[in-house]
Each structure stands twice: as structure tokens, then as C-alpha cells.
Amino acid sequence: MKGPSWFNVTSMVFGFTFLYLPILLLVIFSFNESRLVTVWGGFSTKWYVELLENDQLLAAAWVTAKVAFISASIATVFGTMAAIVLARAGRFWGRSMFSGMIFAPLVMPEVILGLSLLLLFVAIDQSRGFWTVIIAHTTFAMCYVAVVVQSRLVGFDRSIEEAAEDLGCPPLKTFFLITLPIILPGVVAGWMLAFTLSLDDLVIASFTTGPGATTLPMKIYSQVRLGVTPEINAACTVLIAVVTGGVIAASIATKRRQSQHEADEFAAAG
């Protein structure tokens, strides 16, 4: 095959510029001296300093981090279980309903998910706050985890598992000693996806939260409605830096693991 044509290169340059330019501009203008966000007044980090003094914003960030951590962890457990069921359990009563409930939340509008969960919490007289947001986030995030882990389970060599079971290894032990290490990259990716989805969510949290559990996106949203401010740009930049750093670190880590794994296999075979 010949090299990429000018047309392909142009469309990629255009596509990626479109994807990245807005974020880049946002980051640049977070270092703007001027309060006018769209007029450059010189370099300054004063908005970051102001950010550190904004107690409300920091409190919201802390709540969000806790919610995201707990809900991502629960969602990873349930999502991995669901993925194994989808990939392995064969036929059982209610299977199509089960897979329907896994795939529907992926495309369901957030306003519906949020409203419906809120009405459930009200009906069972559950006071709303920190834990109701966690339940809501766990519910939709576990579906994403299930899809990510399932893709890892497809094309998985079951003979090793079968060998372990034939040698009398109990199923749970087989899972932790053999299955889990192999699907671990998928599980980690699922956890990270669940974490960022929760970190990011405005709509579902707005419906299901209560007093004392304002999340960062809710805080940002209420300020954004009043207009663009350099302080919010700075907050956004910090969030972007955290997420991007995490994703890149994770991808490097899994790549290293994978090449290590391949090297081990090669050594064993040789």
C-alpha cells in the first residue's frame, strides 16, 4: 500500500483540530491575566491561586471524588459479574431482559435515568444525598463496565480455566487465579471509565442528590450559566490534567504489562 493520500491527511488534520482546538483554547485562556476571558491580557496563574481559596468549589470536588471512587468500585464488581454472565452463562430465564438492561442505559437519555431514580427514592422514602448519587452512578456505570469487560472475555482461551477445574480447582479460586489476571486490563479500563463518567455527570446527580452533596459538575454548571469566567477555565484545566494524566499513565501501564506478558509467553515457549 502507498502512503496516506493528501485527502486522508487533510480530513484527519481537520477532524483532530476540531476535537482539540476548543479544549486547547480553554486551557490557554485559564492563564489569562484579564478577567475578560476572550481578550488576552498577559500570562498569569492568579486564577489557580483563587481556585485554591474557593472553599465551596474544593468541597464539591472532594464530594465528587468520593462519589466517583465508591460508585466506580461497586460498578466494577457488578459490571464484571454481568460481563461474565453475558459471555459465559449460556441460556437462562430472563437472559434477553438481562442483556437489554445492560445495553439500554448506554443510550438512555440522562434526564430519564435521573428522574426515574429520583421517583423511586421518593417512593421508598429514602432521604437523598451522598448515597443516592452513588447508587445512581453505580447503576449506569456498571453497564459500561460490563460492555468493556465483556469485550475482553470474548476471544479468551477457556482451556486454561478448564484445565484448572479438571485438576479440582474450585470455581471461585479459578476465577481469582486465572480469569481475573487475564481480564484485568479490561477491568481496570472499566473502573476508570466508571470513575470518569461519575466525575463528569451533571444531570443524574442533579436529580438524585440532596442537601450537603453538591458535586463539582453541579457547582461548575451553576457558575457557567452566569457566564464564562477564567476561574472556571482554571478549574476545568485542572480536571482535564487529572483525567488526561490518569488515562495516559494507565495506557502506558497496560502496554508494559502486555509486552511483559508477551515476553513471558515467548520465554516459556522457547
Question: Could you tell me the sign of the dihedral formed by the alpha carbons of 108, 112, 118, 124, in that order?
Answer: negative
Give the rounded distance of the alpha carbon of 46 from its chain centre: 30
Nearest to 136 by CA among 225, 220, 213: 213
Cell digits of residue 25: 483554547
Rg (CA), the chain: 23
Per CB under 8 A, does 253 bind another protein?
no
Residues 105-134 that bind another protein (CB under 8 A): 105, 107-112, 115-117, 119-120, 122-123
Cell digits of residue 8: 486522508
Nearer to another protein by Cβ, of 74 and 267: the residue is 74
Pick the piece of the chain touching another protein (CB under 8 A) from 50-58, 89-97, 178-186, 256-264.
Answer: 89-97
Nearer to another protein by Cβ, of 59 and 85: the residue is 85
φ, ψ for residue 268, nearest 5 deg: -65, -40
Cβ pair 240, 20 in contact under 8 A: no
Pick the piece of the chain touching another protein (CB under 8 A) from 47-55, 81-89, 176-184, 262-270.
Answer: 81-89
Nearer to another protein by Cβ, of 59 and 84: the residue is 84
State the greatest distance between any 2 C-alpha atoms of the chain, in Å, as a whole number. 72
Residues that bind another protein (rule: CB under 8 A) add up to a total of: 87
Per CB under 8 A, does 44 bind another protein?
no
Cell digits of residue 183: 481480564
Residues 130-189 that bind another protein (CB under 8 A): 135-136, 138-139, 142, 146, 154, 158, 171-172
Per CB under 8 A, does 240 bind another protein?
yes
| CA angle (83, 85, 91) in 5-degree steps | 140
Pick the piece of the chain touching another protein (CB under 8 A) from 48-56, 179-187, 242-250, 261-269.
Answer: 242-250
Burial of 90 (0-12, 13-18, 19+ CB in 10 A): exposed
Residues 23-42 that bind another protein (CB under 8 A): 23, 25-26, 29, 37-38
Q: Among residues 65, 178, 184, 202, which is the contact residue for another protein, using CB under 8 A? A: 202
